[in-house]
Amino acid sequence: MANKLLIARQRGQSTVEFVALGFVLVPLLLIVPLVGKYMDIAQTTAVASRYVAFEGAARHSSSADGWKSDAELAQEVRRRFFSNSDASIKTGDTAGDFKTHRNTLWFDHRGTPLLPEFAKNVGVSTTKESLAQPFGAFFASNFGLSQANLYTGRVNVNIANIAGLQPFDTINLSVSRHTVLLADAWAASGPSSVRGKVQDSGAAFPYQALKIAALPVTPLILLFEKLPGGAPPPDIGRVSPDRVPADRLAK
C-alpha cells in the first residue's frame, strides 16, 4: 500500500523537471546565437571604420576630388558592410530597407531585423585634427602643406531591441568603433613638383637669399675650381630630386 502511494506521488515528476529545465534552456538557446550576432555586428563596425579612415588616405584636401562627405561615406558603408554580404560594389549604390539587401544572419528569433532602418541604425562621422608640433607646423606652412593630418573615421551602429526577451527588450545597445590615420601626406607628382615646393618654401629653404649671398664669392670659387685638383663650385639653390650619386651608378 505504501509503495502504491509513493508511486502515485511520483507521477508527473519528469514532466515537471522538463518544464523547469525548459525555463532555463530556452532563453539560453535564444541568447547564445543573439550574442554571436551582436559580436558579428561589432566586428563589422570595426572593419567599416578602417574603410572610412583609409578613404581619407585616398581622398583628402591635396587630392583632385577632395574629402568625401560623411553622408557619402555612410551610404557606402551601409551598402558595402551592413547590407547583404555578397553585395556588389557600385558607385552611388544605396542600401534599401528590404529583405534582399539585409544580412541574412542579422535577425532575431522572430525574424525581425536587428538593423531595421539603415539610415537611422548606421552612421558615419569623421574628424580632422591638426598636429600641434612646432617644427612640423613651421615646415608645413612654408611648404604649403595641410596640417589637418590626424584623420579619424568613426562608425556608430544602433541595434534594435528584442521585444519580449528580457533584458534585450530595453538594452538600447549601441556599437561604436573608430580608426585614426595620418592622412593628406604630400605626394609629389614628379621632380618639378619637388623642385617647385622647395624653391618656393620661403624661410624653410631660403633659396633666393642664398643665391644672392653666393654672388660675391662665385668668382673666387671659380678661380679655385681652375686649380689642379680643384672641386667644382657649389651650385647654390639647385634642387635635383632624381639625381643619383655617381658612386651608385653602374659602370
* Long-range CB pairs of 162-166, under 8 A, 24+ apart, other chains included: 162/34, 162/108, 162/109, 162/112, 163/110, 163/112, 165/27, 165/30, 165/31, 165/34, 165/108, 165/109
Q: What is the pLDDT of residue 54?
A: 93
For residue 248, the 8-state DSSP code is G
**Cα pseudo-dihedral 85, 86, 91, 94, rounded to 10:** -50
Confidence of residue 12 (pLDDT cuts 50, 70, 90): low
Distance, CA of 70 to CA of 152 (rounded, Å): 12
- Tell me the per-residue pLDDT of 77-118, one tens digit each, with 9 for 90 and over: 999 999 988 877 788 888 999 988 999 999 988 899 999 999
Distance, CA of 232 to CA of 216 (rounded, Å): 17
Q: What is the pLDDT of residue 74?
A: 96
Distances from the Cα of 72 to the Cα of 55, 133, 228, angstroms: 11, 32, 68
- Tell me the per-residue pLDDT of 125-147, one tens digit each, with 9 for 90 and over: 999 887 767 777 777 777 777 77
Confidence of residue 11 (pLDDT cuts 50, 70, 90): low
Distance, CA of 118 to CA of 141 (rounded, Å): 41
Rg of the chain taking only CA atoms, in angstroms: 34
Backbone angles phi, psi at 236, to 5 degrees: -60, 130
Question: Judging by beta carbons within 10 Å of its beta carbon (0-12, 13-18, 19+), is residue 72 exposed, middle or buried?
Answer: middle
Judge whether 125 and 70 are in contact, CB under 8 Å: yes
- Tell me the per-residue pLDDT of 148-159, one tens digit each, with 9 for 90 and over: 778 999 999 999
Judge whether 48 and 82 are in contact, CB under 8 Å: yes
